[in-house]
């Protein structure tokens, strides 16, 4: 059974899309905003994404580019935006097809089926006996709370806003994001990020302090970067 992630902030439209796709044999998950969608794609890959552009936290175009940093999953954009330049921009950004609201359930299913055939991820829903291909393998991009870090593109976004980081700040953030939830010692950071195990620990402290400012937090009131005294630092999603 092909799996689809529906990304739509309007509850009534989201429910309608879920019902239509479910009736046509798709296993449907949903997300109401961009960062929830990124977490879904990162944690449990799907065979296709139906993406609205008018999301409350991220512009859908930015969400699309960030999805592309995580996965090659087919993306069908379904939105009310009908400007030709916008359509071209979104298709060039990596969308596999573009559907303008309002549209019928039959048109959605037909477009989605065509996208899946072209990308060879899975057979169209209802194709009896056809083997289902494995979902796209996610890359090393990471989403933690409202923080999204893509080492391949060397970009980091916080609540939809791109962070302006130095090369070393990005390397440090990417390493911590890749090991999110784990306490990482300063010695390990020096060895694996700086590759200079004999540099003073204060080097790490200076860069962590700068990162905290750019993440909008302080050591006394951390949100993402938690210090475990005498052990190290860990990146976590704010509670």
pLDDT digits (tens, 9 = 90+) for 16-26: 999 999 989 89
Structure token digits, residue 55: 């999301």
Which helix (H) or strand (E) covers residue 207, if one does? Answer: helix 202-214
Q: Specify the pLDDT at position 224.
A: 95
Q: Specify the pLDDT at position 58.
A: 84
Q: Specify the pLDDT at position 167.
A: 84
pLDDT digits (tens, 9 = 90+) for 83-118: 888 888 888 888 888 988 888 888 899 889 888 887
- Rounded Cα distance, 79 and 185, in Å: 46
Share of the chain above pLDDT 90, in %: 34
- Rounded Cα distance, 92 and 88, in Å: 6
Q: Specify the pLDDT at position 127.
A: 42
When pLDDT is cut at 50, 70 and 90, the band that residue 206 belongs to is confident
Q: Are 239 and 148 in contact (CB under 8 A)?
A: no
Structure token digits, residue 121: 């991820």
- Rounded Cα distance, 167 and 154, in Å: 9
pLDDT digits (tens, 9 = 90+) for 162-176: 999 888 888 899 999
pLDDT digits (tens, 9 = 90+) for 40-94: 888 887 899 999 998 998 888 888 888 887 778 899 999 888 888 888 888 888 8
When pLDDT is cut at 50, 70 and 90, the band that residue 140 belongs to is low
Q: Specify the pLDDT at position 219.
A: 87
- Check pLDDT > 70 for residue 234: yes
Structure token digits, residue 146: 């409202």
Share of the chain above pLDDT 70, in %: 89
For residues 198-212, average pLDDT: 81
Q: Specify the pLDDT at position 87.
A: 87
Q: Specify the pLDDT at position 13.
A: 92
pTM: 0.58
Instruction: Work out the number of other CB atoms within 10 angstroms of the CB of residue 39.
Output: 18
């Amino acid at each position: 059974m092909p799996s689809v992630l529906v990304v739509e902030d309007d509850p009534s439209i989201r429910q309608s899309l879920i019902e239509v796709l479910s009736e046509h044999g798709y296993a449907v998950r949903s997300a109401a905003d961009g960062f929830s969608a990124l977490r879904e794609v990162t944690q449990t890959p799907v065979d296709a994404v139906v993406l609205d552009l008018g999301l409350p936290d991220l512009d859908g175009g930015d969400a699309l580019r960030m999805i592309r940093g995580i996965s090659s999953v087919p993306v069908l954009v379904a939105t009310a935006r009908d400007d030709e330049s916008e359509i071209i921009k979104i298709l060039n950004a990596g969308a596999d097809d573009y559907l303008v609201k309002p549209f019928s359930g039959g048109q959605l299913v037909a477009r989605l089926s065509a996208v899946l055939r072209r990308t060879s991820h899975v057979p169209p829903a209802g194709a009896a006996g056809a083997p289902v291909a494995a979902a796209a393998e996610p890359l090393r991009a990471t989403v933690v709370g409202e923080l999204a870090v893509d080492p391949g593109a060397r970009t980091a976004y916080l609540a939809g806003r791109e962070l302006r980081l130095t090369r070393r700040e990005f390397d440090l953030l990417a390493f911590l994001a890749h090991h999110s939830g784990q306490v990482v010692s300063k010695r390990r950071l020096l060895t694996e990020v700086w590759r200079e195990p004999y540099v003073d620990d204060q080097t790490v402290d200076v860069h962590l302090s700068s990162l905290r400012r750019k993440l909008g937090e302080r050591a006394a009131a951390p949100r993402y970067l938690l210090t475990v005294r005498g052990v190290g630092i860990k990146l976590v999603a704010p509670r």
